[in-house]
Amino acid sequence: MKAKILTRSAVAAAVAVALSAGYVAGHNNVPAPQVISPATAAALMPAEAAAKTGIPDFSGLVETYGPAVVNISAKHVVKETSARSSRNQVPMDPDDPFYQFFKRFGGIPGFGGPGGPGGPAADRPSEGLGSGFIVSSDGYILTNAHVVDNANVVTVKLTDKREYRAKVIGADKQSDVAVLKIDAKDLPTVKIGDPNGSKVGQWVVAIGSPYGFDNTVTSGIISAKSRALPNENYTPFIQTDVPVNPGNSGGPLFNLQGEVIGINSMIYSQTGGFQGLSFAIPINEAIKVKDALIKTGHVDRGRLGVTVQGMNQTLANSFGMKSPQGALVSSVEPGGPAAKAGLQPGDVITALNGAPVTDSTSLPSQVAGLSPGTSAKVTVWRDKSAKDLSVTIGALKDAKTASAKANGGDDGGSAQDARLGVAVRPLTPEEKQNDSLSRGLLVQQADGAAANAGIQPGDVILAVNGQPVTSVQQLKSMVQRAGDSIALLIQRDDAQIFVPVDLG
């Protein structure tokens, strides 16, 4: 009876899809898609099915490559007391409808037992669940680094229920990619694709273990590419609207040809569950990490030694650029590769080895992909013209990545300046020494254009449109000669940033 209901539902769904697609096609003066039987559709790859029906059928893809997707269990021992304090949870009511769900799949948050309310403090095993996929028949598996982070025991379960103890070959937290190895042969594998060939709007499929439900299949479209995320500076993520939830981490993202183009890594959520935004690591980036981890156990990345920020039209106007493209250098690390090559604050990096730098978010991954010690050509916009510099790439360590964000602008004057709206004074010798600055004007008050741009008391004005400022009078003169906008380089806390100010 159950089988009949499922079959009937599938047939009904197929008819509904065909009618709906035909209605849309008829109202757009294009031919209605050909209606084919469910059996025929199942035999087609998604791209073929989409061409014939208008809607892709993923069953062929899942049947072919689903067995190469694995469930990963990562266990480690944690102190019960520290685990409870970090969660700060209230014991769950047994009448809560999710009580049995958590009891079975994830444990009951804050509920009883050793180390719980009324129970003795004790060490207890903590288990994390994730996904992965087999990339070679001799047992190499890709997943996320955060899935196996600090794990004492990693277990891999295949779709045929076989289980293996896995060895963590290496994990790279910067890219969130980890490589596992199990002792097995003749395993099913995925097919690796090229994410650069994918387009926004194309269908994609995820297979993984959300909330521990093995081999769950979800689908959606690519909603953006090369997406930069906060604190994730070296990965140009593929953004999708594929339903991805906890447990999907490390699983593959397939295109319509059945090729893996990404590793599902994270979601944007205010609830902890899927809310329409999920992000995948491009597989070409992950394969580079995999090869490095297998060969050397670590990943070498290039370093330029600059802090960069994004451009907008006001900044572009200030530097004499037609459009806001490139990465604006707000500070240069003393003695670093960029400083030795002659890069300066106020330079706008527009290309690296001839490849365009579209914005500040794309530059870190481009630089990180270069080998330390190699020479690179950096094209910058300086003094309203392009200039090429040769840089010897350094090695990236666990250095703090610059993230300059502000909307500010400044003016100088010993009293309030009518055009910019700031009151400034020179730095004292003590202030210069404490902040390691050789020059600058301290903002004491900000109103008008400066306040609208985000300038605030305590900021230190270092330059106007890339030209260093050494005195109050110099600042006033530069502002008077400026056009409708200027770019102020300021020091705020430990960061240097350019702030566009609209003077119009």
Where do the DSSP E strands lie in 230-374?
232-240, 252-254, 259-267, 278-282, 302-303, 306-309, 327-332, 348-352, 355-356
Q: H helices within 297-405, ranges in order?
A: 313-318, 337-341, 363-368
Q: Are 479 and 455 in contact (CB under 8 A)?
A: no
CA distance 317 to 500: 9
Q: Any idea which residues carry the catalytic annotation?
A: 146, 176, 249
**3-state helix vs strand vs coil in the chain, percent to 5:** 25, 35, 40
Residue type, 170: G
Tell me: is residue 131 an annotated ligand-binding position: no
CB-based contacts of 14, cutoff 8 Å, min separation 6: 37, 38, 41
Q: Which of 479, 376, 461, 467 is nearest to 420 (CA)?
A: 479
Tell me: is residue 342 an annotated ligand-binding position: no
Region of residue 120 (left: phi > 0; alpha: psi -120 to 50; beta: else): beta
| C-alpha triplet 25, 30, 33: angle, nearest 5° | 60
Q: Which helix (H) or strand (E) holds 290?
A: helix 283-296
> Which residue is associated with the tokens 């300046």?
417
Tell me: is residue 248 an annotated ligand-binding position: yes
Three-class secondary structure assignment of 403-468:
CCCCCCCCCCCCCCCCCCCEEEEECCHHHHHHHCCCCCEEEEEECHHHHHHCCCCCCEEEEECCEE
Tell me: is residue 414 an annotated ligand-binding position: no
CA distance 194 to 282: 8
> Which residue is associated with the tokens 């400022």?
469
CA distance 162 to 351: 50
Tell me: is residue 330 an annotated ligand-binding position: no
| DSSP result, 86-108 | HH-PPPPPTTSTTHHHHHHHT--
| C-alpha triplet 39, 41, 47: angle, nearest 5° | 160
SS3 139: coil
Tokens of 214: 């093995």
Residue type, 201: G
Q: Which helix (H) or strand (E) holds 47?
A: helix 46-53
Residue type, 125: P
Q: Which helix (H) or strand (E) holds 120?
A: none
DSSP β-ladder status, 441-446 and 327-332: unpaired
Residues in binding site for substrate = 146, 176, 247-249
Residues in binding site = 146, 176, 247-249
